[in-house]
Every structure is written in C-alpha cells, then in structure tokens.
Amino acid sequence: MTSNHVPSLPAAGGVTPRQDHPATPSVPHGPDHGTGGSPGADVLRADMTPDAALARLEALRGELDAVDGRLRETLRDRLDCCARIGQLKRDSAIPMMQPKRIGIVQQRAAAFAAEHGMSPSFLRALYELIIAETCRIEDEIIAAKQMSA
C-alpha cells in the first residue's frame, strides 16, 4: 500500500514539513521531482483518480496563493518599517549603511534555514535582494532631505 506521506528531504534538497502543518509534505526539488523512485513520488496515492489528483492540486495551489499573499503583505510591512528606519537615520544623522546589522540579519536567516531544512544559499540570496531594496529605499529617503535642504 502506498502512503500519502512524503519523506523529509535534507536541507540541500527540500523543505521539511513544519510541525504546525503536519499534513504539509516536504517539497521535493530537482530534476527527478515526480518521477518514480524519487522523493515525493508517492504524493499521489495509487488509488487516487486523475480528477481527485487535479482537485487536490487546485486545493494546494489555493493554499500556495494564500501563502504568497501573506508573503507579499509581510514584505510590504518590512519595507514600510525600513522606510521609518531610513527616516530616523536621516533625521538623526545616523549612517545609512550598517554592516553589523546586515550580518545579524544574514546570520538569523542562515540559522532559520538550518533549523527548518531549507537551503541556506536560497535564504542568503533572498535576503540579499531584500537588503538591497531596503538600502535603495533608505538612500532615497536620505537623498530627499539633502535635496530639500
């Protein structure tokens, strides 16, 4: 009998299910995804009809869309907070670039990746993009005061 459970994958290969989402399977990555014998190949039970599989796929996509919406809202909240930080730095003559702080954020991301079976290089790259956008926003805020002065 085939199980509906997907085995956890190592950090370099996928995401381990969260404890608060025990029904959420690991996310397999790579060229073998969905092929026989690969991690995650038993996501579909042998007794699942194609219509049931498509319905399950749509349900999972709906869940993913909701997660993506929360991710976008969280990113917006983060950037709004960074704008307020930029205003404080501008008004208090604090240098925009804070390398020590960037290091702390990157270390937290790496620790999170290690704790949750995620790719550290993925989170590092993601945070590099987020930090670059943060710096761009802070630069604009600081430059706006200089232009108006």
15-19, 38-42, 130-134, range with greatest mean pLDDT: 130-134
The string of DSSP letters for 65-77 reads HHHHHHHHHHHHH
Strand partners, 14: 28
Domains of the chain, earliest start first:
75-148 (1.20.59.10)
The whole-model pTM stands at 0.67
Per-residue pLDDT for 42 more than 60? no
Q: For residue 93, how many other CB atoms are within 10 A of its CB?
A: 7
Average pLDDT, the chain: 79
Taking Cα atoms as reference points, which of 67, 5, 69 lies closest to residue 39? 5
Mean pLDDT for the stretch of residues 16-35: 47
pLDDT value, residue 104: 95
At 46, the pLDDT band (50, 70, 90 cuts) reads confident
Could you give phi then psi for residue 15, rounded to 5 degrees? -115, 130
Mean pLDDT for the stretch of residues 36-62: 77
**39 secondary structure, DSSP code:** T
Per-residue pLDDT for 51 more than 80? yes
